[in-house]
Structure 1
Amino acid sequence: MARLRTIFLKMTPPQILTLGFLAIIAAGTLLLSLPHASATHQATPLIDALFTATSAVCVTGLVVVDTGIHYSTFGELVILVLMQIGGLGFMTMSTLFALALRKRISLRERLLLQESMNQSSLEGIVRFIRRVLIYAFVIEGVGALVLALRWSTEMPFGKALYYGIFHSVSMFTNAGFDIMGPMNGKFSSFVNHVNDPIINVIVIALIFLGGIGFIVLAEMWDYPKTRKLSFHSKVVLYATGILFVAGAVIIFIFEFTNAKTLEPLSLSGKLYSSLFQSISPRSGGANTLDIPSLRHATQFLIILLMFIGASPGSAGGGIKVTTFAILIGAVFAMIRGREDVVFFRRRLAKDRVYKALTITIASLAAIILFTMILSTTEDVDFLVLLFEVTSAFGTTGLSLGLTPHLTVIGKVLIIIMMFAGRLGPLTLAFTLVPAQEKKELYRYPEGKIMIG
């Protein structure tokens, strides 16, 4: 026991976070593989239970079996808890219990909270976590109540409330799981609610609020009093808004005459669908249109949106909107002959640009590698494979129908990609090779090479 404690104390925060997520996934796999977790009371194959547990903890939403049809109420509740822990972070949830028991938060636990919430300082970290928990439960509670009132017109209120809670947590944590199968058919998501204004508005709002990051959420909450937003929040909100609107406009144009998607819908249905499909790839994972029926151009646009993902400090995956904004800013700065990347009259430090470039290249490399490997194990079109891998990396959960038909090797590869996407490429790299804090005492002579 003493030896294990010594090993634990020597571990870095990224290593502890990685180990913690693995432990939760293992516990979830064990519970979901029990016969009691299945609607038929037959044990779920271990690989399928592992896939579902990883997808729930990594708030992805890719599923090999329909959640609402395959799992019992017990199994659905296990998935619900895994989504909540995975979305808010296991350190955040453990802090909740510690605060409830009036237990003191140690310095090491504060360091872990700082790492898990992507904070730059330890100052006020416990107070911030307390606010995160309040925001999350209030938003999920309001979303659950509105959805329950909407569904109470179609089912008993008790069942409607359960549906409301499950989907509110799933959408706010950007998990993308749904239990609409018994009502609308396998893997149907919200397709039958494509014209429903309440479902569309609430789900879009939950995905947006869950994907902008808790720092931005806290500042938006305080904005009526402070009338101030930090530089980070401004970049996140502007970049998110531009991607959301631009994505919706492009989807509307591409799919307007598609008889399998937008064409049969009313104008309001077309607008709801375009907005929904634009916000969902940002790590939401739900859909109101049949994704395989979309045109290839739209599917590729969704791949790009899934790759960009949500915002830092949220449950969403991808390279993050700030990374994308920095890269675009660097391109414009180079074209205009400027040395610095500037947003809102603020100059970005060079290390931010290097970090954005590192994350993007590492993420692209992982997606390319896994897509190439899957092309040898799965006999499907390349775009389908690229879509699946990017969805796993961006912890999005959208699919072109490949997930239930994956081979065992394919499932393992997607599991690895979901896990890597939830932790982030840099956290995973620091887990394997901790970053060296020691600065170099010398610099090499400058060399020049031709570019372009």
Structure 2
Amino acid sequence: MKNKFLKKFLNSYKKFQVSKSPQLNLVWGFFIYTFIGFILLSLPIFHINSVSIIDNLFTSTSAISTTGLATVSLSESYNIFGQVLIILLVQIGGVGYMTLTTYYLLLTTRRITNWHQKIIGAEFTIPNTLNIVDFLKSAFIFTFIMEFIGAICFYFAFKDSGMESSKAIWYGIFHSTSAFCTAGFGLLNDSFISYQNNNYINAIISILAIAGSLGFIVVTDLWYRISGRSKNISFTTKIIIYGFNLLLFLGTIITYFTEPLVDNKDNALMTSFFQAMTAITTVGFNTTNTGLLSNPILLLLIFLMYIGASPSGTAGGMKVTTLTAVLAVIKSRLLGQKKVTFMKRKIPIDRLYVATSTFILYTCLLFLFSFLLTFTEKDSFENILFEAASALGTVGLSTGLTSNLTLTGKILIIILMFIGRVGVLTFGFALLSKKDHKEIKMIQEDLAV
């Protein structure tokens, strides 16, 4: 009887999935995982100290969205089982639940369905130069290798700092996964401020975060080049690498020369680099007190969080490629060009529509939620804007507002984190798109702009 009911339920759910758009399937999937995480985290067996319902929901959303904002201390609120659950949610959110599901399907059946390919296409923006099967394999294998190496490196780093072996093993696994998935969740209450001058730990976090944020497009593309399957690196990979390095360099230099908090310190350059790196990769760890940074640097970090790193990676934000496409449109308009080009390459019109739509929608959401938070939170505007940018960009950096959020403020940040993970355009498609579209004849009219 139970088997028949389960089979009937699964068949009905499958029909429901197929009847909906890929974007709605993606949003629905992340919602289910968030809800399951919330229910499990609400169970007392995962707690050290009692945690409120809203804080459990906040933690689950923050984990599945790989944001890292936390209203409670993870190490003081959740026991080892709760921490394992949280890092599993981070892993699912970082690599993508559909990536893991489809890769498992590929291993067991040796093929993936057209429906799965459409969902993957909604979850990750993949250029037509890459094969989706190769993309999935590189994503899964690269993630495992980087997190495994990172855990080992973290273990020795924590061990050298005086941490006992058993604790160092778990802290190594947890922070390696969190860093590669650019989640920013940590078991240290001060993030990594106490390790500000530990270049070894700074380097481990930076390498893992950059590797995850540059994304699986870059990894797959570079593998094609190394293995001889391709003679050239794709245009997308070039834009990602050039744009990311330029923004990271400018962020580091500006912080180094203008931020009083890092001035005259022995490790000023590393500290400056780390703050810029943690913002653009959206990893969310910090080695200095973010709340004490000057307003110009807070604004700089907001800009870097707003942009983010690469599509099809673990980072959040609007993406470097989106910024590039928008700049290409502006350049072409100012020069009076009919075609939109960048680096002597013509950009397809459909990609330009996606980029400009993402840019506008992302900016509107950041403005709207910052506006709403000014009503609910009694804090300075720069701190509120920073919190909203961190949530939407799934970064996890905070000036200290997170732990003092009101109930309404927590709900607003939860919504922002969720939208930031599924993607602003994907979320918009899920709300507004329909399966069947009827052609409607339109009358063309001019619009002065």
> TM-score surpassing 0.5?
yes
Q: Look up the match of 2:391.
A: 392
Query: Deviation of residue 335 (structure 1)?
Result: 3.0
Q: Look up the match of 1:200.
A: 202
Per-residue CA distance 1:110-138 (angstroms, 9 max, x = gap): 32223222235698423421221001100
Is the CA contact (8 Å cut-off) linking 1:252 and 1:270 kept in structure 2? yes
List alignment gaps of at least 5 residues for structure 1: 182-187
1:362-441 correspondence to structure 2 within 5 Å: 362-434=361-433
The alignment status of 1:169 with 2:171, answered yes or no, reads no
Q: Distance in 1 between matches of 2:325 and 2:371?
A: 28
Moved over 6 A (4+): 435-443
Per-residue CA distance 1:381-421 (angstroms, 9 max, x = gap): 11111111111100001011001111111100100000111
The alignment status of 1:86 with 2:93, answered yes or no, reads yes
Q: Look up the match of 1:219.
A: 221
Is the CA contact (8 Å cut-off) linking 1:110 and 1:122 kept in structure 2? no
Query: Deviation of residue 99 (structure 1)?
Result: 4.5
Query: Deviation of residue 95 (structure 1)?
Result: 2.9
Query: Deviation of residue 106 (structure 1)?
Result: 2.9
Aligned-partner SS, 1:212:
helix
Identical residues among aligned pairs (%): 35
Q: Distance in 2 between matches of 1:204 and 1:424?
A: 24
Per-residue CA distance 1:220-249 (angstroms, 9 max, x = gap): 344334452101101111110110101111
Query: Deviation of residue 192 (structure 1)?
Result: 1.2
Query: Deviation of residue 76 (structure 1)?
Result: 0.8
Q: Look up the match of 2:262.
A: 262
List alignment gaps of at least 5 residues for structure 2: 1-8
Q: 1:264 to 1:128 in 2, by over 3 A?
A: same
1:436-447 correspondence to structure 2 within 5 Å: 444-445=443-444, 447=446
Aligned-partner SS, 1:311:
coil
Is the CA contact (8 Å cut-off) linking 1:319 and 1:359 kept in structure 2? yes
Structure ranking higher on relative contact order (CA contacts 8 Å, 6+ apart): 2
Q: Distance in 2 between matches of 1:108 and 1:303?
A: 37
Aligned-partner SS, 2:262:
coil
Q: Look up the match of 2:249.
A: 245
Is the CA contact (8 Å cut-off) linking 2:279 and 2:301 kept in structure 1? yes
Q: Distance in 2 between matches of 1:206 and 1:101?
A: 30
Q: Distance in 2 between matches of 1:142 and 1:399?
A: 29
Q: Distance in 1 between matches of 2:436 and 2:249?
A: 41
The alignment status of 1:14 with 2:4, answered yes or no, reads no
**How many residues are matched?**
436
Q: Distance in 1 between matches of 2:383 and 2:292?
A: 12
1:40-439 correspondence to structure 2 within 5 Å: 40=49, 42=50, 44-99=51-106, 101-102=108-109, 104-119=111-126, 124-153=131-160, 154-181=162-189, 188-226=190-228, 228-255=232-259, 258=260, 261-266=261-266, 269-282=267-280, 283-434=282-433
Per-residue CA distance 1:177-211 (angstroms, 9 max, x = gap): 11113xxxxxx111111111111111111111111
Query: What one-letter code is carried by the residue in structure 2 that aligns with 1:211?
Result: S
Query: What one-letter code is carried by the residue in structure 1 that aligns with 2:299?
Result: F
Q: Distance in 2 between matches of 1:246 and 1:236?
A: 15
Q: 1:228 to 1:439 in 2, by over 3 A?
A: farther
TM-score of the two chains, using structure 1 as the length reference: 0.91
Q: Distance in 1 between matches of 2:129 and 2:338?
A: 32
Query: What one-letter code is carried by the residue in structure 2 that aligns with 1:277?
Result: Q
Q: Look up the match of 1:185.
A: none
Query: What one-letter code is carried by the residue in structure 2 that aligns with 1:159?
Result: K
Query: What one-letter code is carried by the residue in structure 2 that aligns with 1:369?
Result: L
Query: What one-letter code is carried by the residue in structure 2 that aligns with 1:173?
Result: C
Q: Distance in 2 between matches of 1:100 and 1:356?
A: 34
Is the CA contact (8 Å cut-off) linking 1:252 and 1:271 kept in structure 2? yes
Query: What one-letter code is carried by the residue in structure 2 that aligns with 1:262?
Result: V
Is the CA contact (8 Å cut-off) linking 1:114 and 1:120 kept in structure 2? no
Coordinate RMSD, CA, aligned: 2.2
Query: Deviation of residue 446 (structure 1)?
Result: 6.1
Is the CA contact (8 Å cut-off) linking 2:123 and 2:422 kept in structure 1? no
Is the CA contact (8 Å cut-off) linking 1:111 and 1:122 kept in structure 2? no
Q: Distance in 2 between matches of 1:367 and 1:72?
A: 34
Per-residue CA distance 1:295-318 (angstroms, 9 max, x = gap): 001001111111111211112221
Query: What one-letter code is carried by the residue in structure 1 that aligns with 2:342?
Result: F
Is the CA contact (8 Å cut-off) linking 1:210 and 1:315 kept in structure 2? yes
Is the CA contact (8 Å cut-off) linking 2:275 and 2:286 kept in structure 1? yes
Is the CA contact (8 Å cut-off) linking 1:60 and 1:176 kept in structure 2? yes
TM-score of the two chains, using structure 2 as the length reference: 0.91
